[in-house]
Chains A and B, each alone.
Chain A
């Protein structure tokens, strides 16, 4: 078995690593985000979507992150469940509110794009509905953790839910192929080349990288917060016993 890097399994090393990595990812996100917005807002209107194409510069990155954050949550849940790594449990817990935020943004920006383009704010199409289910899974995950007094039992229950919930990811991805959907199929990366013209493709790519870097930064900060919380809880317990 390939051993995991020490900074991912050892809280002390993780705290040392994240202390400089979190602001670094944050700075990269700001630089890439400004570049993406500058390029995107310099592009002409799309011949079909007109100026609503600008919504895609923030919709596509959040859609990607809604799934990527859940993949991180599920991977950390697996590490937590199988190898009983406390840092992995903190990582899974920290990913949930961020993933929920990005999923909420996906639904909101998609709706704001859909109204002028499709003529409706919402339709129960497979892609939109599966994305809504993902949002509910995030909320369920957080509610489950919050509802259990025993943190160890809560962590195990949440890890199981986190793994089972990962089944939604391929459903979201392939929904546009398995069912007839109003939502279009893959447009950024697909066989035969991107459906986006270069003037839209590059701003989307920069914004995807910027959002991913922002997620990385926020995730590290939230994991650090969880480590501090657990240390504070342990210190409070020691003080109570003394």
Chain B
């Protein structure tokens, strides 16, 4: 059974999880945006003739 209690250490535990979630979100968004941006640019340059 999950319990979210963290006692007097709540600040440290929740901050650690919050920072981790934020950095992971930035890494995921950054990787996807990087790939999509360059794929779109390549497609634009090749006028739709795309290699997978």
Interface of A toward B, CB cutoff 8 Å: 12, 15-16, 19, 38, 41-42, 45, 50-52, 54-55, 58-59, 62, 97-98, 101, 104-105, 108-109, 112-113, 115-116, 214, 218, 221-222, 224-226, 228-229, 231-232, 235-236, 239
Contacts and interface: CB of A to CB of B under 8 A. Distances in A.
A113 B16 contact: yes
Given A55-B13, A225-B31, A109 B19 contact: yes
Given A51-B5, A52-B13, 19 more contacts: A12-B51, A15-B51, A15-B52, A42-B2, A54-B6, A54-B17, A98-B31, A104-B23, A105-B20, A105-B23, A108-B16, A112-B19, A115-B12, A218-B31, A221-B34, A225-B35, A225-B38, A226-B38, A231-B42
Centre residue among B4, B37, B45 by max chain A CB count within 10 A: B45
A interface majority secondary structure: helix
Contacts, number: 105
A134 B41 CA distance: 34
Contacts of B27: 97-98, 101, 218
B31 A112 contact: no
B16 A55 contact: yes
Q: How large is the interface on B (under 10, 10 to 19, 20 to 34, 35 or more residues)?
A: 35 or more
Contacts of B35: 221-222, 224-225, 228
B1 A42 contact: yes
Contacts of A12: 51
Nearest to A44: B3
A24 to B, nearest CB: 15
Contact of B16 (A101, A109, A226, A228): A109
16 contacts: A15-B51, A15-B52, A41-B2, A58-B16, A58-B17, A97-B30, A112-B12, A113-B12, A214-B24, A221-B34, A225-B36, A225-B38, A229-B38, A231-B42, A232-B45, A235-B46
